[in-house]
Every structure is written in C-alpha cells, then in structure tokens.
Amino acid sequence: MGINIVLIRKRRWAAIMLCFCCLTRASSLLAQGSPQMPTTEGDSLTGHKVVLPDAAAGKVAVLIFGFTKASKVPTGGWADKIQADFGTRPGFELYQLPVLEEVPRLFRGMVISGIRKGVTENKRDHFVPILQGEAELKELVRYQEPDDAYLVLLSRGGNIVQQIHGTPTEEKYSQVRSAVESLLNPK
C-alpha cells in the first residue's frame, strides 16, 4: 500500500506541475495578444517631460510616430483627421512623436526649433520629440517605410490595441476611427 500512495502523490504532483505550466504559457500568450506599450519619454515642445504610456494613463491614446522629415506630411494628415474627430472628447489623448535619435546632436536643437515653429501652440504640449530608443521603437511599430506615419492605439490601461502605418487613406482612417470609438464607448 505504501508504494501506491507514493505513486499517487507523484502523479498528483506531476498533474499540478502540468497545470501550472499550461497556465503560465496561456498567460504569456494572452499578454502577447495585447502587449503593453514600452516606456517612451521626451520633452514636449512646451518643455514638459512626457513619459508614455504613463502620461495617457486612464485615457484612450493615439501615438503618431515619424522617423524622417518627409514623414511630416502623413503624420500631420493623421493628426489633423484624428484631432478633428476626437480632439475635444473626454478621455482621449493624441501625441505626435517625431523620432530624432539619428539626427546628429549638433543639429538637434535647430531641428526641434524648426519643428516648434511649424506646430501651433495648442498642439505643442502633445508634440514630443523622441531622442532615444529609435531601434526599439522601429521594432515596436514594425518599421518598413522611412517616410510613413506609424500609429499606435493604446487602451486606457496602456495596452497596444492597434497599429497601422502609411498615409491616412479613407479605409485606414475608418479602421482607426472605429477602434478609437469602440474604446471610448465600450458596450
């Protein structure tokens, strides 16, 4: 009888470990399905330190990344459309994030000054040049085309809900608009 009890305990222990491994794997797969936005920080054009996703905590946020000077056109197009539809909605934030790490340090001040001159005052607090972490951000947004705009939609919990890149075509914008609307007005 003693051998049967030992065998039962071993089997029970193996079953418990199997369940634990399955639960661990399942939780990691769920986390991958809705990844958390990595910490990204910079100073806004008004001089305020912005740390994302913390600055957008509790709000639905669209982050628009641009990696070249030519990406100004598509990033601006996305921002204008999104701002027009959601800019006054409570619980919504829009950030424009030009990534400038590859700009030589000697010229960064001039580049940021030029950007500041082209951005209206009411948008400057949410316009945040990013000076580090470019490689990680390119991986995050699945970087393909240098002059594209890259959008990341965050839930109120800071999880990435949707990503899209390119110019704001009607089809793409409709997808983004629907996703933002569903996050702002959950059923």
Hey, where are the domains in the chain?
A: 1-33, 40-184
The tokens describing 64, both together, are: 């628009």
**What is the reported pTM?**
0.81
> Residue 186: which pLDDT band, with cuts at 50, 70 and 90?
confident
> Residue 14: which pLDDT band, with cuts at 50, 70 and 90?
very low
d(CA 154, CA 163): 9
Class of domain 40-184: alpha beta
Bridging pattern class, strands 92-98 and 60-66: parallel
CB of 61 within 8 A of CB of 94? yes
Q: Compute how many other C-beta atoms are within 10 angstroms of the C-beta atom of residue 1.
A: 5
> Residue 21: which pLDDT band, with cuts at 50, 70 and 90?
very low
Look-up of token digits 């919990």: 157
Q: Which of 27-36, 55-64, 138-147 has the lowest mean pLDDT?
A: 27-36
**pLDDT confidence of residue 33:** 56
